[in-house]
A = this chain, B = another copy of it.
Amino acid sequence: MTSNDINIAVLGASGYTGAELVRILALHPHARIKALTADRRAGEEMSAVFPHLGGVALPRLERIEDVDFSDIDFVFCGLPHGTTHEIVAGLPEKTKIVDLSPDFRLMDVAVYEEWYTDHKAPELQKSAVYGLCELQREGIAAARLVANPGCYPTSSILPLAPLLEAGLVNADQIVIDSKSGVSGAGRAAQEANLFGEVAEGIHAYGVGAHRHMPEIEQELSGAAGKQITVSFTPHLMPMSRGILSSIYVNLNDGQTAADLKKTLEDRYREEKFVRVLPEKALPATRHVRGSNYCLMNVFEDRLPGRAIILSAIDNLVKGASGQAVQNMNLMAGIDEDTAISQQPLFP
């Protein structure tokens, strides 16, 4: 172990985001995976749960209570919501955490409790940083606890926050229509996510009530400088990975789609993982699959005074495990793109 090594525990490793962390970290020159937990699969090899990882040398799955955290530098927490507060509260002070659950994303504990359940670590919440790397780089670098953003919020906030900050669009009439692959629903065995139920179909869900709304609103309110509400409708469609968000906005007086595009280009010019596409190029989920990129573009609407913003990410990478590693890199003070510069897999 060199002084650069980062000893890592992945809690909740039997889900898709856990597997994706392992896939990514397998290419990370400094990461040493020391512990993988999965309560119901404790004692098994990771390759029994995820055969595609059979080529990576990994510790056996164990229960969280059996992990020796004394030499763990970083914890990735991919546990179900409501279970993370107490576990994070019990970690050694020196351990840094990237939490992929929603448990620390909502800075207002009351809002969390309205949408989820009791918050069991409200003190800790105050120190949590919302880990959207391109927008919170300094805060993340200094944080001990980073709340990794949700997938839909990542795809929505990256294009919208700079536009709201600049006052270019009407903050009160934002409509976000998102289309997601099935992996966002996790690996739990549910009839609704069977191949036969998903293939050759599309439908909206959680209409007017999806839990990613308060998270989107929190970050966009911060950007807008006032409390706002958005219209957000997710759809489930037959692909394993990817989110496309089609965002419909009213322009503020005098603004044009071209102004929006230029603002985003200026904001993200130096960013490796956010790419504002050339004129007329259409963000597509197949062009980000397996990568940490967010592609976006702006189009004039046919309705006067309106614009259409499109953004695409891989929900398991930039929308989850890739951004989590990007956060770790920032927190560890190493190159931000370490292990996440793999190009998309197409076709």
Contact = CB atoms under 8 A, between A and B. Distances in A.
A194 interface: yes
Contact of A235 (B246, B275, B302): B246
B240 A199 contact: yes
A288 interface: yes
Given A301-B208, A302-B232, A308-B207, A196 B240 contact: yes
Nearest to A49: B191
A264 to B, nearest CB: 15
A229 interface: yes
Contacts of A347: 16, 182-183, 196-197, 199-200, 240-241
Contacts of A300: 208
A213 interface: yes
Interface stretch (A50-58, A77-85, A90-98, A129-137): A50-58
Interface stretch (A65-73, A104-112, A146-154, A277-285): A277-285
* Most chain B beta-carbon neighbours within 10 Å: one of A190, A291, A301: A301
A198 interface: yes
Interface string A308-345: 10101000000000000000000000000000011111
Given A51-B281, A229-B303, A194 B182 contact: yes
A181 B205 CA distance: 19
Interface stretch (A155-163, A172-180, A219-227): A172-180
Contacts of A293: 55
B312 A50 contact: no
Contact of A205 (B177, B233, B282, B343): B282
A23 B51 CA distance: 24
Interface in A14-28: 16, 19, 22-23, 26-27
Nearest to A232: B302
Contacts of A126: none
A217 B197 CA distance: 33
The 3 A-B residue pairs with the shortest CB-CB distance in the complex, in nearest-first order: A201-B286, A196-B347, A203-B284
